[in-house]
Amino acid sequence: MATIHKTVLGSGVRIVTERVQHVHSVSMGIWIRSGSRHEHKAESGIAHFIEHMLFKGTEKYSAGEIARMIDSVGGVFNAFTSKEYTCFYIKVLKQHMDLAVNLLCDIFFHSLFLKDDIEKERNVILQEINMVKDTPDDYIQDMFNHDFFTDHPLGYNILGELETVQNFRRPDITGFYRREYLVPERIVIAVAGNMEHEAVVDRMAKKFDAIRKKKPSPAQASFEPSRSISCNFRSLEQVHVCLGTPGCSHLASERYALYVLNSILGGGMSSRLFQEIRENRGLAYSVTSFTSSFFDTGVFGVYMGVVKDTVQEALRIVFEEMRSLRKKPVTAAELSAAKEQLKGNMLLAMEGTDSRMSRLAKCEMYYDQYIPLSRILKDIDSVTQDDVRELACRLFRDDQLTCTFLGPLRNKDLPRDLLLLG
């Protein structure tokens, strides 16, 4: 039986824990509600750069010593940057929790950001950016986000651009870190596993209560969707296609209907797009729909990779399925299968303490409270056929459709009437 606890320190830092007695591990993360959308344009990629630098040594430990400390206890130490938050976390056996606490706090408060390390890591990140550009099924996502969000910070590449990353200097990096990370109201410490909440609070309180309160950065302007079509010619074997419309925010009441809609359209091997485009017609190896949600907006999209000669046929199928979802209710069998898929995926993911830790943090950041699994399962079950159809009618509209193409295709190759939902 898992037990959830929450403590808010005097500084405003939140500590949330889930005790899971039957496991041997503890997963602990420091989450900061700041990511690439909090960057100015000239700072694009700086949050991701900081993520890399937090592994490069502190006043107490070198990068090599940090790696050996984690390896010596069979632990996992990692970090990631998203558009709205940054996390660095450690997973260890429960008897090594003190090591996790000490190391996480050390890199958070005492990372050195040395000039020589910045130059070395700059080259690593530039190679990472180039690697994505050489991987078209990844690069198309960056291009689509740029087209979809235009100049809004949500459209910035998380890795940054070659030009911006090349220009970062130590004062830029440390200044962003102080401005965006050392803001106690944005910090969530999430821990899941075989431990006591009071023990975590005792170990963290002295370190995180010392952070001075400060005013967070001002809110950004809202995003306004618009229609966009772009062809990006590149000599490839396939045309990579990414198209989408505004979805739902993390706070939207329709989010569960969105998950069901996504599952039915292209969210798995039994979905409409996978069955029709891949299984029945053999037009693509990879075809999927996806959702991305943020505090105030979201994206619902479709990705596929097809040969040039079949682009129009594949697009016609996507648009036909979107129109079908608007015109008539999904079948009871489809609805039931989508719900069971969602619930199964969620419950299976919760078998690891790292997944539980992530869910604790995200609930706290987006909802300021823990949302029990039982409530989410109930909300999924409550989605009706009418909910799915009404959402499809609202989302699948020509005036807010973005289509991005990457491959051996030019604008003249696409009849514009093909890219209309009607």
Q: What is the DSSP string of 302-369?
A: EEEEE-GGGHHHHHHHHHHHHHHHHHSPPPHHHHHHHHHHHHHHHHHHTTSHHHHHHHHHHHHHHHSS
Pairing mode, strands 239-246 and 402-407:
antiparallel
Q: From CA 23, how far away is CA 93, in angstroms rounded?
A: 9
The secondary structure element, H or E, covering residue 301 is strand 298-306
334 in catalytic set: no
The secondary structure element, H or E, covering residue 249 is none
Among the listed residues 303, 265, 297, the one whose alpha carbon sits nearest the alpha carbon of residue 284: 303
The span from the first CA to the last CA of the chain, in angstroms, equals: 51
Question: How many angstroms separate the Cα of 347 from the Cα of each of 23, 350, 352?
Answer: 16, 5, 10
SS3 label, residue 74: coil
Q: From CA 183, how far away is CA 11, in angstroms rounded?
A: 9
Q: From CA 238, how far away is CA 81, in angstroms rounded?
A: 30
Q: Which of 18, 39, 51, 84 is the catalytic position?
A: 51
| Residues known to be catalytic | 51
